[in-house]
Chains A and B, each alone.
Chain A
Amino acid sequence: DIQLTQSPSTLSASVGDRVTIACRASQNIYSWLAWYQQKPGKAPKLLIYKASSLESGVPSRFSGSGSGTEFTLTISSLQPDDFATYYCQQYNSYFSFGQGTRLDIK
């Protein structure tokens, strides 16, 4: 099984801040990594796939980088709508998710 570890688990930030969430894989997953945003009571929403490809319709303030075992999701300038929980997902070998990072308003 491929394990994904996200850091931090919780992040407090303000509107306009630049934030970065990290995701580490237990083995090489090349670029087979996606990032999702989830709000309470809603299904996850795909933001990034193949580590750095922006899903259609997702604002350009979201970006992803990394390969192998180290990945990051960056939000360049936080907007009020961005406060949510974020998950990374690997799809190199079946699927698995990180434990999530909750992004709170400071």
Chain B
Amino acid sequence: QVQLQESGPGLVKSSETLSLTCAVSGASVSSPNYFWSWFRQPPGKGLEWIGYIFYGGSTNYNPSLKSRVTISVDRSKNHFSLKLSSVTAADTAVYYCARGLSGSSSPPTDYWGQGTLVTVSS
């Protein structure tokens, strides 16, 4: 059974860097069959894509966040991570990690983590 679990500080100070990790079980972050995404959802609002990373390490980021985002993979720990720098109150959100399936006829995501709330304080 595939499971994803987000972890990291629930409170981050304004102007600092938000760091989250997504631990993956039941699948390998090194497999060419998958890619790994981060999303977020501010309280009471809609979903926003942050970025994704492919098994080879290449990344794509939301242009609106690109200058502040880094997504990386740690194959030895079978997890992937998100760093978002220079945070403000607008970055307060529930952050989700998710798995995507490579292949033209595959869905963009199948398994998601439960989400973790990160609050940016002044």
A residues neighboring B (CB under 8 Å):
1, 34, 36, 38, 42-46, 49-50, 53, 55, 87, 89, 91, 94-100
| Extra A-B contacts (19), CB below 8 Å, given A45-B112, A49-B106, A100-B47 | A1-B63, A34-B107, A34-B109, A38-B47, A43-B96, A43-B112, A43-B114, A44-B112, A46-B110, A50-B105, A50-B107, A53-B105, A53-B107, A55-B107, A87-B47, A91-B108, A95-B62, A97-B46, A98-B46
Q: With a CB–CB cut-off of 8 A, which chain A residues contact B98?
A: 43
Residue contact B107 to A96, C-beta cutoff 8 Å: no
Give Cα A89–Cα B48 distance, bound, in whole angstroms.
Answer: 10
Residue contact A43 to B63, C-beta cutoff 8 Å: no
B31 beta carbon closer than 8 Å to chain A: no
Q: With a CB–CB cut-off of 8 A, which chain B residues contact A97?
A: 46-49
0/1 interface trace, chain B 29-65, chain A, CB 8 Å (1 if under):
0000000010000000011110010000000101100
Q: With a CB–CB cut-off of 8 A, which chain B residues contact A96?
A: 49
**10 A-B interface contacts by CB (under 8 A):** A34-B108, A34-B109, A43-B112, A44-B109, A49-B107, A89-B47, A94-B49, A95-B37, A97-B46, A97-B47
Q: With a CB–CB cut-off of 8 A, which chain A residues contact B115?
A: 43
From residue B119, how far is it (CB to closest CB) to chain A in Å? 16
Interface residues of B in 48-92 (CB under 8 A from A): 48-49, 52, 60, 62-63
From residue B53, how far is it (CB to closest CB) to chain A in Å? 13
Give Cα A95–Cα B60 distance, bound, in whole angstroms.
Answer: 10
Give Cα A94–Cα B37 distance, bound, in whole angstroms.
Answer: 11
Give Cα A95–Cα B106 distance, bound, in whole angstroms.
Answer: 14
B113 beta carbon closer than 8 Å to chain A: yes
Residue in A closest to B100 when the chains form the complex, CB atoms: A91
Q: With a CB–CB cut-off of 8 A, which chain A residues contact B49?
A: 94-97
Interface residues of B in 1-41 (CB under 8 A from A): 37
Give Cα A87–Cα B115 distance, bound, in whole angstroms.
Answer: 17
